[in-house]
């Protein structure tokens, strides 16, 4: 839908403001208080009035999930597969509508949002298959005569799923789908900036005939709803995606009560460009990886490490591309980059840009707030030339801001790539198979990309990193079973 037909529809504002309620124990519930989410492309538009829970309402959802756990964990794999398949089919059938809601609430462009909705649908379908395959197990001969040993996987129990705003459907999908596939019951808490997306997903799940309490949605603040999930002795595992600071808090709290925990946090991902690279491809990878989705991806390439012989040519071409990008309303046809998600994040980005200039990074392009026809949080993509010790090259900004670091040669580039507290992903653009192979082996990250943007991953293979980026088992693909199941060893005298 283009912005014109969309603008005509905004005349019916009541139709566009979603009333998002909690889903607890199979029923839709109003909150203790109400919150509003707004459209970052046009802050006059309220996207949702949503229910906010307090500690005791969150505890009701946790109790419902705990009561449902014995039932759901013993459903047949066929039943779980059917439920997940139905959810996936409905998401796919409604991808345009869900994408529109997401573009309005989060601000990513409409094509990106529709693509993400489709991905969420495919994730549910993938995990429908995983429900049938199960987490795997083995039968072995014992070390003792006449004894048989088997190793089986069981559901963890109740899982608390805490998600961020930047992928409002895909990240919840890649936590909820494996949780249910492997027989766990769920309390899902979406980020406060995107409650309507969380609600829309819950609404689809609610029609898939799950037993009451198997899946619950509770909205509200991290400090109240999130913290209640983290602290509850009834919650067996917490899967979290968000900031490093919150992740650290959750890790400490979960450790105190021996809860299983999986954390996906920040990144300061390098894209290395070697002198032998196809430079047009390298610039494409940089533009896509660093700036699309307004740079609001933990896999964004915010450090562009370029070998000296092509450094200046790369910077010239990249600046040229940045100048041609269209920044604007997420629903306007042709928009390359939508708004920043909210005014707090915009202020953070602009402060980081001012600090970069103050610390002596060379400003190449952008980084200014932009005025558009609607009142939104727009800014131009920013590019700096930096030195490795500067903060613009070290801190995650989570916005459309990247820096170029000059590397003397491949070894220097690899050292720079690894010189970060983070370790989510790393990319390299090169035509040398031996360099690419060496880089894949020696980059201290969880995911490597060769001649591809660092952002943009498949859902059927593991996602996650090392160092300050991640903690606990990987997400997605078959490996998701490692978090969502626990291993049991059985001995039988035959
Ligand atoms: P972001 O900068 O992406 O908002 P946060 O880490 O603040 O990152 O938020 C990610 C998710 O964690 C959100 O759903 C948020 O409400 C939740 N959250 C924030 N603080 C806490 C907390 N103390 N305990 C549990 N969850 C929290």
CATH of the domain at 174: 3.40.605.10
The residues annotated with a catalytic role in the active site are 264, 298
Instruction: With cut-offs at 50, 70 and 90, classify the pLDDT of residue 6.
Output: low
Is 58 near ligand 1, meaning CB less than 6 Å away? no
221/285 same-domain check: no
| Minimum CA distance residue for ligand 1 atom 4 | 164
Q: Which atom of ligand 1 approaches the CA of 229 most closely?
A: 25
Instruction: With cut-offs at 50, 70 and 90, classify the pLDDT of residue 5.
Output: low
pLDDT tens track for 76-108: 999 999 999 999 999 999 999 999 999 999 999
168/313 same-domain check: no
pLDDT tens track for 303-318: 999 999 999 999 999 9
pLDDT(135) > 90: no
The pTM score is 0.97
95/119 same-domain check: yes
233/181 same-domain check: yes
| Minimum CA distance residue for ligand 1 atom 21 | 222
Pocket test for ligand 1, best of 52, 191, 295 (most atoms within 8 A of CB): 191
Q: Give the pLDDT confidence score for residue 1 in this predicted structure.
A: 43
155/226 same-domain check: yes
Q: Could you give the number of structural domains in the chain?
A: 2
pLDDT tens track for 284-293: 999 999 999 9
Q: What is the CATH number of the domain that holds 435?
A: 3.40.309.10
SS (H, E, C) the chain: CCHHHHHHHHCCHHHHCEEECEEECCEEECCCEEEEEEECCEEEEEEEEEEECCHHHHHHHHHHHHHHHHHHHCCCHHHHHHHHHHHHHHHHHCHHHHHHHHHHHHCCCHHHHHHHHHHHHHHHHHHHHHHHHCCCCEEEECCCCCEEEEEEEEECCEEEEECCCCCCCHHHHHHHHHHHHCCCEEEEECCCCCHHHHHHHHHHHHCCCCCCCCEEECCCCHHHHHHHHHHCCCCCEEEEECCHHHHHHHHHHHHHCCCEEEEECCCCEEEEECCCCCHHHHHHHHHHHHHHHHHCCCCCEEEEEEEHHHHHHHHHHHHHHHHHCCECCCCCCCCCECCCCCHHHHHHHHHHHHHHHHCCCEEEECCCEECCCCCCCEECCEEEECCCCCHHHCCCCCCCEEEEEEECCHHHHHHHHHCCCEECEEEEECCCHHHHHHHHHHCCCCEEEECCCCCCCCCCCCECCEECCEECCCECCCCHHHHHEEEEEEEEEC
Domain carrying residue 121: 5-265+469-493
Is 195 near ligand 1, meaning CB less than 6 Å away? no
139/239 same-domain check: yes
110/29 same-domain check: yes
pLDDT(2) > 50: no
pLDDT(63) > 80: yes
Instruction: Report CA(243)–ligand 1 centroid distance (Å).
Output: 7
Q: Give the pLDDT confidence score for residue 15 in this predicted structure.
A: 60
| Minimum CA distance residue for ligand 1 atom 2 | 243
pLDDT tens track for 200-225: 999 999 999 899 999 999 999 999 99
348/483 same-domain check: no
Q: Which atom of ligand 1 approaches the CA of 190 most closely?
A: 14
238/129 same-domain check: yes
Instruction: Report CA(336)–ligand 1 centroid distance (Å).
Output: 28
124/182 same-domain check: yes
291/232 same-domain check: no
277/254 same-domain check: no
């Amino acid at each position: 839908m283009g912005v014109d037909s969309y603008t005509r529809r905004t005349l019916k504002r009541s139709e566009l403001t979603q009333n998002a309620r909690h889903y607890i124990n199979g029923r839709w519930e109003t909150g203790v208080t109400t919150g509003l989410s707004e459209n970052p492309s046009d802050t006059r538009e309220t996207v949702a009035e949503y229910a906010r829970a307090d500690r005791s309402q969150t505890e009701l959802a946790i109790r419902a999930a705990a009561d449902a756990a014995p039932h759901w964990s013993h459903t047949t794999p066929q039943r779980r597969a059917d439920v997940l398949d139905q959810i996936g089919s409905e998401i796919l059938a409604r991808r345009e509508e869900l994408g529109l809601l997401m573009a309005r609430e989060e601000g990513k462009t409409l094509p990106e949002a529709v693509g993400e909705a489709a991905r969420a649908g495919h994730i549910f379908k993938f995990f429908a298959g995983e429900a049938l395959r199960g987490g795997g197990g083995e039968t072995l001969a014992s070390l003792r005569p006449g004894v048989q040993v088997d190793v089986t996987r069981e559901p963890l129990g109740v899982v608390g799923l805490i998600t961020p705003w930047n992928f409002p459907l895909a990240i919840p999908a890649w936590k909820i789908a494996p949780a249910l596939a492997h027989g766990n019951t769920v309390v899902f808490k979406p980020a406060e900036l995107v409650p309507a997306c969380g609600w829309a997903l819950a609404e689809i799940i609610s029609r898939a005939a799950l037993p009451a309490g198997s899946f619950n949605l509770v909205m509200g603040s991290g400090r109240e709803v999130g913290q209640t999930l983290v602290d509850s002795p009834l919650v067996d595992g917490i899967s979290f995606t968000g900031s490093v600071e919150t992740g650290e808090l959750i890790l400490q709290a979960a450790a105190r009560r021996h809860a299983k925990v999986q954390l996906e946090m920040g990144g300061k991902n390098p894209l290395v460009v070697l002198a032998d690279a196809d430079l047009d491809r390298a610039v494409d990878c940089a533009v896509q990886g660093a700036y699309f989705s307004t740079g609001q991806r933990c896999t964004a390439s915010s450090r562009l490490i370029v070998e000296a012989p092509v450094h200046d040519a790369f910077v010239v071409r990249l600046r040229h591309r940045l100048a041609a990008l269209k920044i604007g309303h997420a629903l306007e046809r042709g928009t390359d980059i939508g708004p920043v998600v909210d005014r707090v994040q915009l202020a953070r980005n602009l402060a980081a840009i001012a600090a970069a200039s103050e610390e002596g990074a060379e400003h190449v392009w952008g980084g200014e707030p932009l005025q558009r026809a609607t009142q939104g949080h727009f800014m131009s993509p920013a590019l700096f030339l930096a030195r490795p010790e500067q903060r613009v090259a070290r801190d995650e900004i989570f916005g459309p801001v990247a820096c170029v670091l000059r590397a003397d040669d491949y070894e220097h580039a690899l050292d720079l790539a690894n010189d970060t507290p983070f370790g989510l992903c790393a990319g390299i653009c090169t035509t040398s198979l031996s360099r690419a192979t060496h880089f894949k082996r020696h980059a201290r990250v969880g995911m490597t990309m060769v001649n591809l943007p660092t952002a943009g991953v498949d859902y059927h293979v593991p996602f996650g990193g090392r160092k300050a980026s991640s903690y606990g088992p990987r997400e997605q693909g078959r490996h998701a079973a490692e978090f969502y199941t626990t291993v049991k060893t059985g001995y039988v005298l035959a």
